[in-house]
Amino acid sequence: MNLLILGRGKTGTLVAEVARERRHQVQVAGAADNRAHAALTADKLAGVAVVMDFTAPSCVMGNIEACMRAGKSMVVGTTGWYEEIERVRKTVEESGTGFLYSPNFSIGVNLFLEVARVAGSALQHNYSGQIFERHHASKQDAPSGTAMAIQRIMQEAADKGEELEITSFREGDVVGMHEVVLESAADRIYLCHDAKSRRGFAEGAVRAAEWLVGKKGFFEFKDVWREV
């Protein structure tokens, strides 16, 4: 299928590489190619099956709105826009397109989130919890979308109102590490996911785009990753 990837950063570049390996036709648009969303008109998107966004929080909402106007389905890996989720959901439903997003498309991270959900019950048994996340120095948002997902999942599992503290580090070229520490008077529990490369994320994102073709609606990767 024909994919348009927005973003020429490390992740967008690797997503394009994986998509080509999986025999898809790939176009890539960087910031210079997409000023004022010039790459996202109906004419420019003719023949594109899915638009994949790996840009920045400052421009992702404009990209989403342009794609919805053009009637194009999207996979969005950019974070930093989640306060607008309900507005985007409504726009997707009105446009009759498909939309799939995630703070992290790695299968390993999604397995980790399932473990974190179970571990969240420890907060009902006199454990306190903290979340630590480390990413490369150029990552623009903090805390990471994945860390916030861990926080939300564990608090829902524990049915507790107080938030688990998230501590963020931005250093070097760290791909992504997320750690949960649960502590009681008797012991400590450590949960950790350490990404060795961005490839797992890229492969999951491309498989998500393949899954989305022909579907309409608003989806989260955490709900469909077992199917891709």
Work out the burial of residue 225: count CB atoms within 10 Å of its CB; fewer than 13 is exposed, 13-18 middle, 19 or more buried: buried
Mean pLDDT by 10 residues, the chain (228 residues): 95 96 97 93 95 95 97 95 96 97 93 95 94 91 90 90 88 93 97 94 96 96 92
The enclosing H or E element of 107 equals helix 107-119
Range(s) within the chain of domains with CATH label 3.40.50.720? 2-105+199-224
Per-residue model confidence (pLDDT) at position 80 = 87
215 is catalytic: no
Catalytic residue among 10, 139, 160, 216: 139
Q: How many CB atoms lie within 10 A of CB 24?
A: 17
Q: Is the dihedral of CA 84, 89, 94, 98 positive or negative?
A: positive
Element holding 109 (H helix, E strand) = helix 107-119
Range(s) within the chain of domains with CATH label 3.30.360.10: 107-194
Q: What is the CATH number of domain 107-194?
A: 3.30.360.10
User: Which architecture does CATH list for 2-105+199-224?
Assistant: 3-Layer(aba) Sandwich (3.40)
The alpha-carbon radius of gyration of the chain (Å, integer) is 18
**139 given a catalytic annotation:** yes
Question: To which H or E segment does residue 218 belong?
Answer: strand 217-220
Is the peptide bond preceding residue 57 cis, with omega within 30 degrees of 0?
no
List 135, 178, 193, 222, catalytic entry: 135
Q: What's the one-letter identity of residue 50?
A: V
Residue 159 pLDDT:
83
Q: Which of 172, 182, 173, 113 is nearest to 145 (CA)?
A: 113
pTM as predicted: 0.85
Alpha-carbon distance of 81 to 85, in angstroms, equals: 7
Question: Do the strands 2-6 and 50-53 form a parallel or antiparallel pair, or are they unpaired?
Answer: parallel
Handedness of CA 163, 165, 170, 174 (dihedral sign): negative
CB atoms within 10 A of CB 219: 19
DSSP 8-state secondary structure symbol assigned to residue 142: S
- d(CA 18, CA 204) in angstroms, rounded, equals 10
Tokens matching residue 44: 């420019």
Identity of the residue numbered 28: V
| Residue 228 to residue 224: CA distance in whole angstroms | 7
For residue 181, give both structure tokens: 């520490």
